[in-house]
Amino acid sequence: MASGFASFFSRDKTFRPTKKNLQEGTLRFNLHRKANASLHSGLDLKQVVKLPPEEELNDWIAVHVVDFFNRINVISGVIADFCTEQSCPTMSGGPKYEYHWCDGIKYKKPTRLSAPQYTEQLMEWVESQINNEELFPVETGVSFPKNYISSVKKIMTRLFRVFVHIYIHHFDKLKTIGAEPHVNTCYKHFYYFVNEYNLVDKKELEPLKDLTANICQ
């Protein structure tokens, strides 16, 4: 399963590269390698997300934000043929949950978009956040800003909504194309991480409460 999970998330055509390259030999690169080695080794994901001894929390979180962004982008690419403006005219999680997009620039007020439009705006926005070196500094000795954690919480909350939409509206397709175990592993990793560091409000997690109780034990 570990090797299959790794290969699933190495699909070049759906991988979205960011400007934030992790250069070999840097602290951030070493953390990235450590996080991925642990994930692919098949260890307990609850333990994998815990901060390694003597590592800096903000760096550990930053590495995972970038990794989750890329993995979730791959997942959204995998189901792109099934998630269209015709099939998904709103970014929703069933009849009870609907998400409107607002970035304060192009969309100054919460705006109803189709699921693919919402996802595209989301990925562009997250990429811009990650590549903002005032928010995600890359130089050694440069401090993270005071609004870093609050910004991370906003990023992770919005990325979680992609899981909500895919699980509720496209779960059957995930099973059909054989992606279910890979997406489940990614979701479990994401959930344990945000739960460990309190990065997504409990209320936001409600749409997948039953799923979480079933697979995150």
Radius of gyration of the chain from Cα atoms? 17
Ligand-binding site membership of 186 (annotated): no
Please check whether residue 92 is in contact with residue 98, taking contact to mean a CB–CB distance below 8 angstroms. Answer: yes
Angstrom distance (rounded) from CA 200 to CA 159:
10
Does the annotation flag 165 for ligand binding?
yes
170 is in an annotated binding site: yes
What is the spatial distance between Cα 21 and Cα 9, in angstroms, rounded to a whole number? 17
Q: Who's near 162: CB < 8 A, 6+ residues apart?
A: 72, 75, 76, 119, 122
CA pair distance 78, 80, nearest whole angstrom: 6
Instruction: Consult the annotation and say whether 102 binds a ligand.
Output: no
Q: Which residues are annotated as a binding site for Zn(2+)?
A: 83, 88, 165, 170
Q: Which residues are annotated as a binding site?
A: 83, 88, 165, 170
